[in-house]
Amino acid sequence: FFFSSRRRHTRFRNVTGVQTCALPIYFFWEDFVVGDVRIFGQHRMTEDEILKFAHQFDPQRFHTDPQWAQQSLYQGLIASGWHTCGVVFKMVCDHFLLRTSSQGSPGLEQLRWIKPVRPGDVLRARCSVLDKRPMQSKPQLGLVLLRWEGINQNEQVVVLMEGWSIYGRRSP
């Protein structure tokens, strides 16, 4: 599902019609198949990165103070959900999104933090194609409903993000 041998260097016009730089685009709206699932990437969460992110962006004590976190509901240090989302999305970008005709997203329909992420956890990203449809107002674009999940080393879903994304079409 994601990449085929059809690699295409192209100048792609974004939503505003402004021509962007030449990028290798491997995947267009037409390439999405409802029901396809792909797992990719790998990232080991460290205590140091959890603490650094939390101190800068989400300074709740169960993210910033390992001793205090031991006495919390979580019984130990956990990563910020926002940090977890960022890590998963970086894997999505590195292993998929940057090689597509993506034009962004109108937003998420759903975001859930399902299980705490702890130092030493190894995360991967799983993408499921839930639905797709052409964009009526802009025939050169199509919409795809994707579910992105962060899964840990025990195959447990730790974060779930679901929303529509906009992709360029090969031919409207």
pLDDT at 19 over 50: no
> pLDDT-derived band of residue 15, with 50, 70 and 90 as boundaries?
very low
Helix pair 47-57, 81-95: axis angle to 10 deg: 110
Provide the Cα torsion 16, 18, 22, 28; round to 10°: 30
pLDDT in tens, 77-105: 999 999 999 999 999 999 999 999 999 99
> pLDDT-derived band of residue 22, with 50, 70 and 90 as boundaries?
low
Mean of the per-residue pLDDT values for the chain?
89
Q: What are the Cα distances from residue 67, in Å, to 42, 82, 103, 129, 161? A: 28, 22, 44, 41, 31
> pLDDT-derived band of residue 23, with 50, 70 and 90 as boundaries?
low
Query: What's the predicted TM-score (pTM) here?
Result: 0.85
Q: Are 129 and 136 in contact (CB under 8 A)?
A: no
User: Would you state the pLDDT for residue 12?
Assistant: 40
